[in-house]
Amino acid sequence: EGELCLSRSLVNSSDKIIRKAGSSIFQHSVEGWKINSSLVLEIRKNILRFLDAERDVSVVKSSFKPGDVIHYVLDRRRTLNISQDLHSLLPEVSPMKNRRFKTCAVVGNSGILLDSECGKEIDSHNFVIRCNLAPVVEFAADVGTKSDFITMNPSVVQRAFGGFRNESDREKFVRRLSMLNDSVLWIPAFMVKGGEKHVEWVNALILKNKLKVRTAYPSLRLIHAVRGYWLTNKVPIKRPSTGLLMYTLATRFCDEIHLYGFWPFPKDLNGKAVKYHYYDDLKYRYFSNASPHRMPLEFKTLNVLHNRGALKLTTGKCV
């Protein structure tokens, strides 16, 4: 019960199958799609056995004291000191406590969004989740602007804000965060060593500029719990991508989840090139073993869930 019904052989050969561009198993129709509310409830219940998104979405102030030393979640040999700034930005209670929504959008960053004209539809949802501080204003017609919850890997500081090397990078960042008002800014700060300086700089800028954004830092158990849930459902994910993490968390808060911008393939079903990100020129090797993610396998799973009415996946035009 509640299994995703992906047969073992299908999972094992999925990467190969996906290589066949235009393979019909990736086709999904949005016409006639209907929510399967009992399946939604069953999935929520099953995920709750592994994690409670209300709690695991963020550690809270009482979890730590300044000066505490913790082990990185994916690199247990290395440690991080909980700084005064970090501690002061931990929420008192979960920023998602008692929050429930009829419909939510989880917006991935694939170039499939370009020319989709999905902006209005995305913004019409009660709660909009976005990933990695993706820019929206210049792409509003295709991606919308509403951002109630937005993730930010520490690497974004380097990738999109010049490592805060000069004042204009820092200003650009502060402007971006000011646009978020009191949305949740979700920073996975405890995953691996490497981004701690970036997290500290981000924290310092938020405090210095008195930004209203509500910071959240995922619990130390979240990623293992999410991975555990998918593994028990025969989806062997090395490390869930941010997009899959967000869908998994959203099942707790949202009755109807709509996904946009999920398309981890270099071409669309008509053979037309698709950018990895809608907003930059990052190249990504979708099938590389070096990547920590298995996005094509994740996509296949989400597609199965779409066809069963558990979520709605949009990869085409919205009008």
Q: Which residues bind ligand CTP (CB under 6 A)?
A: 108-110, 131-132, 153, 241-244, 261-264, 276-277, 293, 295
> Between residues 95 and 111, which has the closer beta carbon with respect to ligand CTP?
111
CB 270 within 8 A of CB 317: no
CA distance 148 to 5: 33
CB of 84 to ligand CTP, least distance (A): 28
Q: Confirm whether 293 is a catalytic residue.
A: yes
Closest separation in Å from C-beta 145 to ligand CTP: 17
CB of 260 to ligand CTP, least distance (A): 10
Kindly calculate the radius of gyration of the chain based on its CA atoms and give it in whole angstroms: 19
Instruction: Pick the closer one to ligand CTP by CB: 65 or 283.
Output: 283
Environment class of 20 (CB within 10 Å of its CB; exposed 0-12, middle 13-18, buried 19+): exposed
| Phi-psi domain of 295 (left: phi exceeds 0; alpha: psi -120 through 50; beta: other) | alpha
Residue 197 vs 285, nearer CB to ligand CTP: 285
Given the residues 198, 258, 293, 306, the one annotated as active site: 293
Nearest to 127 by CA among 280, 258, 319, 239: 258
Nearer to ligand CTP, 95 or 261 (CB): 261
**DSSP helix/strand/coil, 303:** helix
Contact predicate 151/130, CB 8 Å = yes
Q: Which residues of 118-146 are buried (b: 16+ CB within 10 A; e: fewer)?
A: bbebbbebbbbbbbbbbbbeebeebbbeb
Q: Shortest distance, CB of residue 310 to ligand CTP, whole angstroms?
A: 17
What's the closest the beta carbon of residue 30 comes to ligand CTP, in angstroms?
17
Cα–Cα distances in angstroms (integers) from residue 108 to residues 61, 182, 260, in the given order: 30, 21, 6
| 59/134 with CB nearer ligand CTP | 134
Euclidean distance between CA atoms 178 and 201, whole angstroms: 16
Active site residues: 293
